[in-house]
Structure 1
């Protein structure tokens, strides 16, 4: 439960060389939060940036955590484990899913779901400006994910996810691919850390609510179709191999078992 010294919401934003896009994102979040009745903290995790990402975030009033450049998965984990809010919202530095979609995820959490994830699929979802080939690639990748590791989730890769703090800590302390020993990487590293996180959530028995959201394609996206498709496929296969080798400890009782209403 939230205490007087803890915020209700922690917003965690992984960022690598985002000095250009962060100011608008942080301004939009600040403008949204000013009208909300709860307290919140904004955490920007600087993933070893080579520009002024950290300085820009600090100037905007965000809490900045600096880490070595180990990719988005490691940065998200760093922020989630440091967050103090009762609910942790993960979102991308370009705010591709507008912060105004957060109340829909909050409603699912307050109905009893320990995890609510934004989805670019399903009735009510919308994609703005996405090239057709990127959409096709995403659907093929999701088919592979459902075949190899996860069932019942239409969109694992939308970067807009909310988790109860206790559940987030439970899961992020169990991840293996982008855990404490994650390797240093070069360049932008878009990963399938989401697949491992949600795989562990399902194995741990946490209910996941998938919420259709609005999403817009970023013209400055760091996704490299060939390089990142291979990296993501490798991550999915590693999740399955880790599971088959018994590397995931999923036997203890889940921290929070709440029946969604």
Structure 2
């Protein structure tokens, strides 16, 4: 990570992951903008791999916990099955060629993330919430990027399950499914064009 410019904090009321990412991504000013899960489940050393993909012509480089070279460490089987089930739905309805939309490790070219955030619709104005909220916000970022013609490149990463995960299986499955249906509806209505 040597040579990377220092970041800054963006203060805002708690409104969930999507709202925090929206605020941080919009406030970033460098040519490339990345985000990572706060627990660093994917080591930051993989940022070099994502940057290499951007240098090779990708507009969006996403960490992938699936495919050759990817590894999942310490993940309970029920969580893996939940994730793969969700990905089957995402692939069927939104992104048939992306094996992992939800890995919290992504890098965007500045023009790409700016255009995507302008068109994204999930969790624009959420207000304050009191608990964690896991959403399909990541999938929407990629759907909008694809609609705008940006090249998306999955990069295999090592990912370690966080034992203190705030995912609530029944509750979050419902929210994610609802979000995927909303994104599909927005696609049909041409709201991302």
Into which bin does the TM-score normalised by the smaller protein fall?
Answer: over 0.9
Measure the CA separation in 1 of the matches of 2:152 and 2:146.
Answer: 8
Q: CA deviation at 1:228?
A: 0.8
The question of 1:163 aligning with 2:105 is answered no
**Structure 2: unaligned runs, 5 residues or longer:** none
**Structure 1 residue 218, shift from structure 2 partner:** 0.3
**Structure 1 runs (4+) greater than 6 angstroms displaced:** none
Alignment of 1:197 with 2:133, yes or no, is no
How does the TM-score come out when normalised to structure 1?
0.72
Unaligned segments of structure 1, at least 5 residues: 1-32, 43-62, 251-261
Taking structure 2 as the reference length, the TM-score comes to 0.96
Residue from 225, 229, 246 that aligns with 2:169: 225
Structure 1 position 149, deviation (Å): 1.4
Partner-residue secondary structure (3-state), 2:82: helix
Instruction: Give, in angstroms, the shift of residue 241 of structure 1.
Output: 1.1
Query: What do residues 206-233 of structure 1 show as CA deviations (whole Å, max 9, x unaligned)?
Result: 1100001000000111111111111111
Secondary structure class of the residue paired with 2:134: coil
Residue 40 (structure 1) aligned with residue 19 (structure 2) = no
- Return the offset for 1:68: 2.2
How far off is 1:183 after superposition? 4.1
Is 1:212 aligned to 2:118, yes or no?
A: no
Contact preservation (8 Å) 1:92, 1:160: yes
d(CA) in 1 for partners of 2:190, 2:42 = 35
1:6-25 mapped onto 2 (5 Å cutoff): none
| Structure of greater Rg | 1
* Matches of 1:205 and 1:170, distance apart in 2: 11
CA deviations over 1:106-148 (Å, ceiling 9, x no partner): 1000001111000000010001100011101111100000111
Following the alignment from structure 1 to structure 2, what is the Cα–Cα distance between the partners of residues 123 and 168? 27
For 1:48, the equivalent position in structure 2 comes to: none
Number of matched pairs: 193
Partner-residue secondary structure (3-state), 1:221: coil
Matches within 5 A, 1:174-185: 174-179=119-124, 181-185=125-129
Q: CA-atom RMSD, angstroms?
A: 1.1
Does structure 1 residue 150 correspond to structure 2 residue 95? yes
| Distance across 2 between alignment mates of 1:95 and 1:40 | 19
Query: Which one has a larger percent helix, Structure 1 or Structure 2?
Result: 2
